[in-house]
Amino acid sequence: MDFYPMYIGGRWVEARSGRRFTSVNPATGEVLGEVALGDREDVQAAVEAARDAFDAWRRMPAPRRGEILFRAAELLGRRKEQLARRMTQEMGKVLMEARGDVQEAIDMTYYMAGEGRRLFGETVPAEMPDKMAMAVREPIGVVGVITPWNFPIAIPSWKIMPALICGNTVVFKPASDTPILAHRLVEILEEAGVPPGVVNLVYGPGGTVGDAILAHPDVPVITFTGSNEAGVHVNATAAPLLKRVHLELGGKNAIIVMDDADLDLAVEGVVWSALGTSGQRCTAASRVLAHRAIKDQLVTKLVERIRRLRLGDGLDPDTDVGPVVNRQALERIHGYVEEARREGATVATGGRIVDEGPLARGFFYAPTLLVEVRPEMRVAQEEIFGPVTAVIEVSSLEEAIRINNGVRYGLSSAIYTRDVNGAFRAMRDLMTGLVYVNHGTIGSEVHLPFGGMRQTGNGHREAGRAAIDFYTEWKSIYVDFSGRLQRAQIDIPQAPS
């Protein structure tokens, strides 16, 4: 059986304890390999390596750091198909979506490589003669990177690449459901020329490895993507040490379908936003706010389209929807559907665990559409993170916007309409970090900020130039080249009477 060690100080090593765990294919139950199970001692070694490597890495000119990331992007591109197939095996998403995940990492790595020549500062006029005033960006130190399983290449690259280009070093803890993908990504960074200690990889559960990173005094920066409950814990643990914390948390995203919408276009947007990646996206559309004039017609079209989706192993080219990540996720999703039934919702299609035939070996949930859903129901308020979406009837754009904004999350939203005035009102009034017009709630580009409002996060953004702001500090510099003592005295001329 293949073994995947940790990476600390430029060496691939066993866990100090010698313990291991296994990575399992959620579609088939196949064991994919054994992985080193880290603990606090391994975190300590990784942090020490990252701390020791920081000074030399920050002193390396940023364009040279960019050249290393450029080589990493090229390696990701050459291995895209290999990485995508392994992702489908380890995480479950269909192969086409796995290729998209890897492509996001390629795009981000190329983009951040270019930022090595664009870590712009500022120059401003000084108050005194013969004096120069400017501000430059500085790296901060060791960054703790804690990532989820649903985008096991893309999300780590969205965090690691900007941290590295800014001159920080990294201790990386991936989700325990997808350790092999993390191993492959770090292998590529090593091959691209990242010096020893600059990137370190420790596997293990959040309660030991994650908490050790959060509590370590030599890790001043934390970036985390995961559930709101875990995000609160991250924030509380890091707060006493005044760490800089970036949180990307949950979403309860809605697609508004107005009475003038192209319904066929809207159906495709709903289906892939809600059910792609088996609904396991923070941007998944788990609410559909349908205008009463077209609601019944839309539901009919959605039911027909959803019933044509094929469940199966993501490596099968005929599969549309793969498994969910594990048994716990399967039971949580079904629990939400059962609760919706008890609250008065109706299952238009789906609503069950699929455990017959070859699918019985994996964790499959039937793509589900709920109707007769009210905005206050749990299924309309809480993140499900599975292939389930709920139709809520609305009578106007204003009502749709109010319901969209009436949840604790604010990540992504979309509207389907032919009315340009209504579209612009939605763009103005939808309180989400991402807004789409005549497109689903999923999909983002690496040169624009990514993140949400309210309890979706804590205000920081990933991607684009906004990411650079999080991973750097400002240093203001004053240079007096007059050769003499200057007294701060400013005469402001009076306006003529």
Assess contact for 8 and 39: CB atoms under 8 A. no
Known catalytic residue at 229? no
Alpha-carbon gap, residue 285 to 469, rounded angstroms: 29
From 90, 115, 248, 393, active-site residue: 248
Residue 304 exposure: Cα atoms within 13 Å on the Cβ side:
9
Assess contact for 466 and 114: CB atoms under 8 A. no
Bridging pattern class, strands 364-365 and 353-354: antiparallel
Assess contact for 275 and 309: CB atoms under 8 A. yes
Q: Which residues contact 497 (CB under 8 A, 6 or more apart)?
A: none
Assess contact for 267 and 301: CB atoms under 8 A. yes
Assess contact for 54 and 168: CB atoms under 8 A. yes
For residue 388, report the phi and psi dihedrals to the nearest 5 degrees: -135, 135
Task: Give the position of tokens 């019944």.
Answer: 296
User: Nearest CA to 277 among 365, 350, 362, 176?
Assistant: 365
User: Nearest CA to 475 among 163, 141, 134?
Assistant: 134
Beta bridge partners of 436: 414
Alpha-carbon gap, residue 420 to 255, rounded angstroms: 17
Alpha-carbon gap, residue 427 to 437, rounded angstroms: 8
Alpha-carbon gap, residue 290 to 299, rounded angstroms: 9
Task: Give the position of tokens 């809605």.
Answer: 254
Q: Which residues contact 174 (CB under 8 A, 6 or more apart)?
A: 147, 149, 152, 156, 181, 182, 201, 203
Where in the sequence numbering do the catalytic residues fall? 248
